[in-house]
Every structure is written in C-alpha cells, then in structure tokens.
Amino acid sequence: MRNNLNLFLVLFGLFNSVEIVAQTSKPNILFIFADDLRADALGCYGNSYVKTPTLDSLARAGTLFSNAYIVGGHHGAVCAPSRAMLMSGQSFFRVKDKLNGVHTLPIHLRQLGYTTFMTGKWHNEPEALAAGFDEAQNVLLGGMANHFEVAVRDLQPGGSFTQAVKKGFSTDIFTQSALDFLEKQSEAEHFFAYVPYSVPHDPRSPLPEYLKLYDEKSAPLPPNFMPLHPFSFGNSMGIRDELLAPFPRTPEIIRAQTAEYYALITHLDRSVARLIQKLRDKGLDRQTLIVFTADNGLALGSHGLLGKQSVYEHSMRVPLIVAGAGIPENKRSDAFAYLLDLFPTLCSYAGLELPTHIDGKNLLPIILGKQKSVRTHVLTAYMDFQRSVRDSRYKLIRYPAIDSTLLFDLRKDPHELKNLAENPRYQQKIIELTAHMQQEQQKLGDHLPLTAAQLMPKTWDYRTIVRKPDQWQPKEIVEKYFKE
C-alpha cells in the first residue's frame, strides 16, 4: 500500500498545477501502447481483481476516456490496421494496415523538430518505421512472438535493420530499451518515445513471479462468459485466436488463461512505473505528456470467444489515459474517442501544425473541459461480416453475411447479453441507428452493404474445427492447452 501511495504522490507531483508545456516549449511525449488489452482489465476501469497500481495512479493524475474505441480491422490480425490508424489518423478503410508512403505521426513530429524513438512491436512495414523514427532499438517486426524468445532488430543508418537476435522476455527488453533512451535525454531536447509492448497478447506465458500473484483456479470469469458463441458471424469460427482453448470453453480453462493474462498485465504495469520513475530521475517529468492506450481488446471467454475478431465491447473498446502538464487530474470523460484521434490531439497539445486530410478529431478541447464531445456515434467493424454503431445508450450490431441484427441497451446491459432487436418497442431505434451506421460508414470510407448478396449459414459446429498450436506457443502452453 505504501508503494502505491508513493507512486500516486510522484505522479500527482509530476502533473499538478502546471500550465500546458506547449505554451512555452514543445513537450516531450511518452506513448505507451499495450497489445490485446481490453479496457476492463485495469483497476481504473473497474476491475477490482487485477493488480495495476501504476496505471490506476496515472489515471488519477490525468484524464481517462471511458469510451475509447478502435474502428476495427479487415483481417484477423486486428492489431495491424489498428496501429496503422493510430499512426496515420485515418480509418482502415483508407490505409488498411500498410503505412509505407503514408504521412504518419512520427514523420510529422520528426519534420517539426522532434527526436523520434521507438522500441517494441511494429506491424506496419519496416520502411514506414525507418521513415518516421530517428532511432529504433530492439524492434519486433511482426505481429507476435514467444515472449521468452522474442527476435528483435535495431534500425541502422540508411533505413536497414540488423539481423534478428533472440533475447530475453519481451516486456523487459522493450522497457530497458526505453529506459536507455530516456537516460540520454536532457531538458533542452524534446522527444517522441513510442513504446508499443507485445503484451498481454498471447502466448499467455508470463514470468513465474507475476503468475504467482494470481490463482488460476479462482480468477473471475467475465460476466458474459459462454461455453460457445451461439451463432456464426458468417466467416470461419476457427480463426487462430479461437484455437487457444478447446471447444466448448470451460470455466477452469478460462480462469487459468485469465490469470495468465492478468499476470502479463501486472508485469506491464510495473514496467510503466519504471519509465515514469526514469522521467522523474532525469527531471523530464514536468515537460512530458504520457499517453497509455491499446490496439484492441480481447474476448477471453466473453460470449464464448477468445480473440478480438468481433464488434462486441470487449474487443473494440480500449483503455485511454492521458497525463501531463495542464491535463486535468482525476478526470473521467465518457466522450467517444478513436485511437486515430490521437494524431491531431497530440499535435494540438504540443502547439504544432495539425495534419490535414485525416479522419481523426482533436480531443484536447474535451480534455480541457471546453467541449463535451467530437462525435455522437461510434462505428466499429470487422471484415465484411460485422458492423456496429452506438450512441450514448444503445448499440446496434449488424451481420450482413447472415442477415441478422442485435440491439443492446448498454446502460442496462453493458455486457451485451439481452438482444432487444425482436422487441417491437425498439424498431424505431433500430431504424434510427441503422441510418447513423450508414452515415458513419460514409464518413470513414466504408462501402459495405448491410445485407450481403449471398448469405451464409448462421449455425456452426465446433466439432469440425481442428485445433493446432501456432509456431509461437511455448512448449508449456502446448502441453497445457493443446494436449487431448
């Protein structure tokens, strides 16, 4: 408890009673990005079981967005288009997951005088990384890896990369690289440090010292746990993420994987504490904006699913915390935000020229209490099989390939369990939200018809799916979850 209190006092001291740095000089930006982190897997988002004292303190020292979303993705590796949208400020309907030749956030900041640095996961073409960053150390070029044997590379002058070398645990490698960079900085410089971790993405194989913090037999199940998803979305239900546990899902296995997931999150939380402490040690705390968010959520037993390939809240909603000079403390905003809004928001905070021709909107007026919202509806999407739109209360999900609609009252039913679509009382709400869905599709460049020309079966049989581990799962995970 004393350590948690000390951390909060440090954070409070970092950010309390300070004018926005951009008024006098360019602020530093430390951008910390998690991988597959659902919003409700943090204490500050209402999870009383997981241990995240650093991020909880960061939220108290800054502003937390309770309704931050990704737009979605056009293939199963949702993290790739999500990261492309973050870096470009554009929807994936325009950039997909490719960034080569795109004017990105690091390119923009670099052109305006920032030193740009990254360490961690990069899933959007190595050429785009080289174009945006002055320095990149211990980079994972790809979507995932065995955390104990992550193969990393360094950016070389001229834009090439060193040969991949397998080192230690991913979280520790990336943290130490960021610490080394921060150690070299001075108060006279201004930097953008991008630290995209590869946790808590699977393999769910945490270090033993973190796993022992959780009981694999008593970790809580999600409120919307189901053994199987009740219908097919129209696409295969056997995508890679869904193979990480047997069908039907059992409470025992979901509890065990949840404990592993939380252990990875706590390791990440303690690593963020080390980065914050380094800022303080270097005297960089009062001139550095800290952003913490994630590329997408994860089901992990919710609705009978494991992955992020759905438009349910657990997959599309992400944490978003902003803390730094001039940012209101202990503030929670329920305004809708997309990850792609962070490009213009960071530029506005730093007093820099805003990018043009992007989909993102500036969230700074919301943060400063000058504006309540920048959008009234949020559209999320997955491939050609799922679309959703929500307002401040209701959420409509449309499945074009099976010609099916769901409607949820998120105020009364935040876990999306009671479908109201067949209730005659809500038909006008469905018509209204369908119109908004089409409007948001147009804004983001999405041209998918809401009913497919050729319909697919709504039923599915888990017994037809063959489970095989992918190449990144360590031996102990294979033994634990793939042996019959």
Per-residue pLDDT tens for 163-189?
A: 999 999 999 999 999 999 999 999 888
Positive or negative CA dihedral for 309, 477, 145, 275? positive
Of 13-22, 84-93, 234-243, the least confident: 13-22
pLDDT at 21 > cutoff 80: no
* The predicted structure's pLDDT at residue 17: 37
Dihedral over Cα of 311, 313, 315, 319: its sign: positive
- DSSP letter for each residue of 438-470: HHHHHHHT----SS-SS---S---GGGPPP---
pLDDT tens, position by position, 311-337: 999 999 999 999 999 999 999 999 999
Mean pLDDT of 128-148: 97
279: helix, coil or strand? helix
Residue 464, token pair as written in the block: 């037809």
Q: How confident is the model at residue 11 (pLDDT cuts 50, 70, 90)?
A: low
Mean pLDDT of the chain: 95
Mean pLDDT of 34-40: 98
pLDDT of res. 315? 98
How do the domains of the chain map onto residue ranges? 2-375, 382-453
pLDDT band for position 137 (50/70/90)? very high
Residue 22: pLDDT band (50, 70, 90) is very low
| Lookup: tokens for 270 | 């303690």
Q: For the chain, what percent of residues have pLDDT higher than 70?
A: 95
CATH number of 382-453: 3.30.1120.10
Of the pLDDT bands very low, low, confident and very high (cuts 50, 70, 90), residue 24 is very low
Check: pTM over 0.85? Answer yes or no. Answer: yes
Q: Mean pLDDT across the stretch 241-249?
A: 97
- Please report which helix (H) or strand (E) contains residue 110, including its range: helix 105-111
pLDDT in tens, 380-398: 999 999 999 999 999 999 9
Q: Using pLDDT thresholds of 50, 70 and 90, give the confidence band for residue 7.
A: low
The span from the CA of 266 to the CA of 363, in Å, is: 28
Q: Is the peptide bond before 365 cis (omega within 30 degrees of 0)?
A: no
Q: How far apart are CA 147 and CA 480, in angstroms?
A: 17
pLDDT above 80 (res 20):
no
Which 3 state secondary structure label does DSSP give 201? coil
Q: What is the per-residue pLDDT across 138-147, written as a single tens digit (0 to 9) for each?
A: 999 999 999 9
2-375: CATH topology is: Alkaline Phosphatase, subunit A (3.40.720)
Query: What pLDDT does residue 188 have?
Result: 84
Give the tens place of pLDDT for each residue, 192-211: 999 999 999 999 999 999 99
Is the CB of residue 397 less than 8 Å from the CB of residue 406? yes
